[in-house]
Structure 1
């Protein structure tokens, strides 16, 4: 859940003029911090998605001893160092003090990161990283999945948006920041991590044993549908997303594309300068992409810098996993380009943060502003409402079943019920789906195994469990009512 492992937080650099600003701040411990504005998503957490932007400011160096309000903090520091029964790590004390101040805000999007956590955070915008591949956020004192990355171990294991990660290898994540959780979840390729998940609508906890892998930051996928309708999916906004998108659009045009469906579902966000450039492909030059509002009410607008207009009909698809930068893009397309949106309400991440880095490599981000859609709507915790609300089928919410479980005749539990419902959706006849592994279910399992070149044991475990869930996923992609609606809306425009 890889800022985006946020589980994986994205370092999304923003600039109100559309230019990325890199700033370094020279600070001594307990000195004031220079800030850069950042839009965060998520998350994660999030979010766990961070969009940064801002103007350079002068750093005023103020010794802590000259600040009366820091007197108690300084005295406490000295008292612990002098009187505590054991030897004290001074750097750990300072990290704890800063972290405590940030956590006292009660804001899941404000965060203090140690040097190691900052390094993990920054790696999420590289070409690849090692982990499970999911975006997370800290929410209500829990670590919550925003969206798994396409093709990642997280997606393949069945992790989904709004899953709550309770434990990692038996260690509770309660009260942890998203950056702290990432350090536990990430790891070398080939190693395993055990997650305990609480899933909305599922009574029992879900246990997942996921093998970490290299997570490539490949973000744009395209295909040509029937009737020369092009489909492009953007899974996140990374360093090369804009150039990848332009390349895919050119290739689809060469194939005779007459209209485009832009799929932003399960996109947790990423680098905002990429979202700005992509928005500018479709939003007319000079039109607003988003607005930034500071605490004092001052607003600044980010305008489209369009160089060449996209001249084909277009529709966008979103869902609850579309967050942060993808919401900025969706809002700009809907309000400033008149492009219709299909799907479900987006995640709803609309705050902006201040970011700064210490000389020791640690860093801090604080919520300092909010971003608004072109018309001035604040979508935080509300999301963007599509022009056409279309839900996925109920079976899309069936719970993940651990392949290590052994389910056979006479077994009875929620996992049996889930598998029975999956088989029923896939067209197999069962007498009931009430959670009891009866004779009719055994026959259905044997039939499934024969049809998929698996040993016909009638037992659901291992490859059989994976095969059933994959078959359900394939059916969902084939049925996909949101994509079907998008195609129909686009066809109306092509008439």
Structure 2
């Protein structure tokens, strides 16, 4: 059964993707029946009008205060004020009282950028952000994006952009500072969980291709396992997934791993399309609950489940539509491997205001097939598995004037030791004391990379250590979560 498209078009992380010349992709618009990207949440003007009539509420008696305030400002304020700015400010003020980071006002420029971004590519750093506990927070860097190459990770907090603090700014205002054209640089000040000091990352914006599904076959111990990674749930993800799954099945795979790590979500109907290939009709794959607590179950037309074992990979960057897939497969008794997911269980709609602007508003909850609401909690894995420590390290912040040296003790030294150990060098310890063993490890690294052998970690040495760690992570080396998933699949 398909979700009523006159009622629900989008399910999204509530994040904004830093994209096309400053556009955003965390919110994606559904297409109408002609294949065009509309600024409506329904497929016809009549349906939109009806929805507006049904949702109209009785206006409070003191609504005149808004009009009076507008007149007072226009008549008495010492400087000229733009009418449109006053109106948009009033809208944003009302939405801010909801204290919902997933509800926001989208002006005509933002809507135009949304339309552009559903095309084949966009420009930016390729990271999705949201406001969490008052901080602009990285939800997920996209695969092969400048943000991923720079080492940004889920839950990194962005404190400032090019030296300007983001304190007090909403998501839209923050993204306006981060976004920009291909080839330009942006400096982000990042606070990472588990570290006391923030660090800076310089990222060069680039063109980001919207490719969302990647697949391969892992052969081990006589078993051929298909691995499908979904990076987000965008317009063509469903058909890409179906095609690549069919190709894997033609290769007679023995099992399947669905990898939604770092996937912040996207379109609801895409999550539906994927689940309808796995969840048989004798159980729902999803429930939707309205504001009155009424929940409706949705089921597929599938006769039976797949005849091979399946597992799902998740981490703290898996959210929204990713969690819909993960929790449904979990309740179908498939293994979910990794770390507890982000925890977003709400549905947003893009509601037009009639002038090419819209309000993105939280209107519904989504529940697991069994009725669990994971909002704020996330999906817990059935098999918990962390990555090696160097996966969670931070950039080495040093200067040539103040390098990390022997007999020095600090959090920065501990971080450097973890990174060098991850690259295969024996630092002797990872507790933050720069010992003789650590000095020898630094010298070995410098010799191996044709650097001046000083035993000290200056800007050049620290930068190269960081670069090699990022490359190793991006290459999927020591992917303990995938390894564990493959181990558990056939037990």
- TM-score, normalization by structure 1: 0.84
Corresponding residue number in structure 2 for 1:251: 247
Q: Is the 8 A contact 1:407 1:461 kept in 2?
A: no
Spell out the pairing of 1:343-358 with structure 2 (5 A cutoff).
343-358=338-353
Match of 1:181 among 171, 174, 178: 174
Deviations 1:449-482 (A, max 9, x none): 443x54445455356234432365268x333222
User: Among 7, 11, 15, which residue is 1:39 paired with?
Assistant: 11
Change (3 A) 1:254 1:397: same
Aligned twin of 1:12: none
Q: Tell me: CA distance 1:64–1:91, structure 2 relative to 1, closer, same or farther (3 Å).
A: farther
Equivalent position of 1:418 in the other structure: 415
Counterpart-to-counterpart distance in 1, 2:400 and 2:321: 39
CA distance in 2, matches of 1:300, 1:364: 25
Change (3 A) 1:83 1:289: same
Match of 2:228 in 1: 232
- Size of the alignment, in residue pairs? 461
Structure 2 residue aligned with 1:278, among 267, 274, 298?
Answer: 274
State TM-score, norm by structure 2.
0.84
> Where does residue 34 of structure 2 map in the other structure?
none
The answer on 1:490 being equivalent to 2:480 is: no
Q: CA RMSD for the aligned pairs?
A: 3.2
CA distance in 1 between partners of 2:481 and 2:54 (Å): 55
Q: Is the 8 A contact 1:315 1:339 kept in 2?
A: yes
Shift of 1:265: 0.8
The structure-2 alpha-carbon separation of the partners of 1:20 and 1:214, relative to structure 1 and needing over 3 Å to count, comes to farther
Q: How does 1:4-403 map to 2 (within 5 A)?
A: 17-18=2-3, 20=5, 38-43=10-15, 49-50=26-27, 57-60=50-53, 68-226=61-219, 227-285=223-281, 287-306=283-302, 310-335=306-331, 337-401=332-396
Task: State the Cα distance separating 1:252 from its structure 2 match.
Answer: 2.2
Q: Look up the match of 2:473.
A: 473
Task: State the distance in 2 between where 1:118 and 1:102 align.
Answer: 18
Q: Secondary structure at the match of 2:266?
A: coil
* CA 133–66 in structure 1, closer or farther in 2 if over 3 Å, else same: closer
Return 427-436 or 72-81, whichever deviates more: 427-436
Classify 1:409/1:324 alpha carbon distance in 2 versus 1 (closer, same or farther; 3 Å): closer
The CA distance in 2 between the partners of 1:197 and 1:294, in whole Å, is 37
Query: For the structure 1 residues 245 and 403, does the alpha-carbon distance in structure 2 shift closer, same or farther, using more than 3 Å as the test?
Result: farther
Structure 2 unmatched ranges of 5 or more: 19-23, 31-40
Partner-residue secondary structure (3-state), 1:378: coil
Deviation digits for residues 217-240 of structure 1, max 9, x if unmatched? Answer: 111111211221111111111111
- The 1:111/1:286 distance shift into structure 2, 3 A limit, reads farther
Offset at residue 403 of structure 1 (A): 8.9
Listed as ranges, the gaps of 5+ residues in structure 1 are: 1-15, 22-34
